[in-house]
Amino acid sequence: MSRPEFTKDFRTYGQWLKAMPRDTRYAKEIIRKHKMFPDKSLKQLRDLKISDYDLSKAGWETLTSQQRMERHRSLQILRAMRKGASLNQMTEKFGMKNKDAVKLLGRNLYKENGRWKATKNDSLEVEMRFYDRDAGHITIVTRNSKDRYLIAEYKDAVDRTLKGGDTSRLKKFEGVKIVDNAGKEHSFETRLDRLYDIEEAQVEGEFQELYVN
């Protein structure tokens, strides 16, 4: 089935995008919606409401600053539910409605015997701080919960190593690579002298928060 014409004047989205500078608030909103719904026409995109989105499918770069804050909140909800908390408990904690949490988490929530459950894994993108073997202290956009957990485990190993000097915890990460949302590979920095250099170069407290707002 072929895609519908994007507009009466432009058959494809690409033609519409190139026809003139698309830097207005309206155009930026259409561009953002198109990234999430590439098969829809301009009219369909224009008529879409935020409430129609399944934000769990949205890439990090397509999110507004407010939605990025909500993505962080959704990760907290997932982590807590995986440890036994209920959706009601978490939405009450954050002053949310269940339907808002469902919009944020989409397919990462499911019902079982009438109760909301969290999937064991997810593919939510989020920006995190990272010690890269080649680039030093950088931020990368991770693709899923497996990578997030690995980076968190690595950060804990780095902290413990820098405090005690025992590098045995870092051996697990030697030669290990992680792939970001753009498909670029990153290697974990495990050399103690480089870790000290990177740590000393950071502004005090800068690396304390693993996730980037």
Q: Average the pLDDT over 195-208 and give the result.
A: 72
Q: Which two tokens stand for residue 151?
A: 């980076």
Decide if pLDDT at 213 tops 70. Answer: no
Report d(CA 103, CA 151) in Å as an integer: 26
Q: Which of 27-36, 61-70, 112-121 has the lowest mean pLDDT?
A: 27-36
Q: Tokens 């009601």 label which residue?
A: 88
pLDDT in tens, 90-124: 999 999 988 889 889 988 999 899 899 999 999 99
Q: Tokens 């919009």 label which residue?
A: 103
Residue pair 75/101 in contact by the 8 Å Cβ criterion: no
Please report, as a single letter, which amino acid is at residue 115.
Answer: R
Decide if pLDDT at 45 tops 60. Answer: yes
| pLDDT band at 29; cut points 50, 70, 90 | confident
* HSE, side-chain direction, 13 A CA sphere, residue 35: 13
Neighbours of 67 (CB within 10 A): 17
Report d(CA 44, CA 41) in Å as an integer: 5
pLDDT at 204: 54
Q: Which of 12-21, 28-37, 76-85 has the lowest mean pLDDT?
A: 28-37
Report d(CA 152, CA 130) in Å as an integer: 9
Domain spans, the chain: 57-118, 126-201
Terminal alpha carbon distance of the chain: 40
pLDDT in tens, 119-173: 999 999 999 999 999 999 999 999 999 999 999 999 999 999 999 888 999 999 9
| pLDDT band at 13; cut points 50, 70, 90 | very high
Residue pair 125/143 in contact by the 8 Å Cβ criterion: yes
Q: For residue 116, give the H/E element and its range.
A: strand 115-118
Q: How far is CA 7 from the centre of its chain?
A: 32
Strands 109-112 and 115-118: antiparallel
| pTM, entire model | 0.72
Q: What is the DSSP letter of 39?
A: T
